[in-house]
A = this chain, B = another copy of it.
Amino acid sequence: MRVDGRASDQIREVSIETDFVKHPEGSVLISMGDTRVICTATVEDRVPPFLRGQGKGWIAAEYAMLPRATETRNIRESSKGKVSGRTMEIQRLIGRSLRSVIDLEKIGERTVWIDCDVIQADGGTRTASITGAFVALALAMDKVISKGKIKEWPIKDYLAAISVGVDSKKGELLDLCYVEDASAEVDMNVVMTGKHEFVELQGTGEEATFSRSQLNQILDLAELGIDALIGKQKEALGNIAERMK
């Protein structure tokens, strides 16, 4: 029995509120249980220096937590004057993941900035960020197409992310909340497309290890979670979901 009564293959309650903030081209507030993240997508008409003149675009991501998103208050990274290794890892992961399902040529020389700001944290903030950011990105692409700035729908497939953990007593568990995450021996984050292709697979046995058969059970659970999340993304996108074929 899990701490919040879920079955081992059950994800937390998910909601995706679109257009949560008015200025960005796309924005959502995604909640997965008590984890809540504001994801926004900003379209900028230029690319980073290394891409100039190549006729293709870029997706860059940033991630942060409000200081009191967590149980105890964290010092702001702006006050510390530097971004932590954890933050860097997460924002690189979000950017890479979204780039894998978009046709960068189709968006032209533009950068889409993805900002994921966690306002309340209860485990799984990086996976919720990716799942929410995908919707914000789709909303932004829809708006840019409506304005005629780009011609063709550039997103190739759905994309969502989920965690799976291994608990020494309860075995494999889908979508860890914070308490579960803190005691898990193995923590796997899976980023996957609508066609069940892997985009990212990051598994860590912090002071532990895992076998290949455990890996297979983990991946089976992940596929279930991804399917459920993509269902929620489709609901949130409404008509725009049509564009995804």
Q: Hey, which bits of chain A sit against chain B, CB under 8 A?
A: 21-24, 27, 34, 38, 40, 42, 44, 62, 64, 66-71, 73, 76-89, 91-92, 96, 99-100, 104, 113, 115, 117, 119-120, 188, 193, 195-212, 215, 219
Query: Using Cβ atoms and an 8 Å threshold, which residues of chain B touch A199?
Result: 204-205, 209
The residue from B22, B82, B99, B203 contacting A34, defined by CB atoms under 8 A apart: B22
Query: Using Cβ atoms and an 8 Å threshold, which residues of chain B touch A196?
Result: 211-212
Query: Using Cβ atoms and an 8 Å threshold, which residues of chain B touch A115?
Result: 66-68, 73
B113 to A73, Cβ gap below 8 A? Answer: yes
The residue from B21, B79, B99, B188 contacting A83, defined by CB atoms under 8 A apart: B79
Query: Using Cβ atoms and an 8 Å threshold, which residues of chain B touch A212?
Result: 196, 198, 219
How many copies of this chain does one complex carry?
A: 6
The answer to whether A81 and B82 touch (CB under 8 A), given A68-B115, A69-B21, A206-B99, is yes
**Once the chains are docked, how many angstroms separate the CA of A119 from the CA of B19?**
13
The residue from B42, B89, B99, B209 contacting A198, defined by CB atoms under 8 A apart: B209
B73 to A27, Cβ gap below 8 A? Answer: no
Query: Whose C-beta in chain B lies nearest to the C-beta of A214?
Result: B198
Query: Using Cβ atoms and an 8 Å threshold, which residues of chain B touch A86?
Result: 92
CB distance from A124 to the nearest CB of B (A): 16
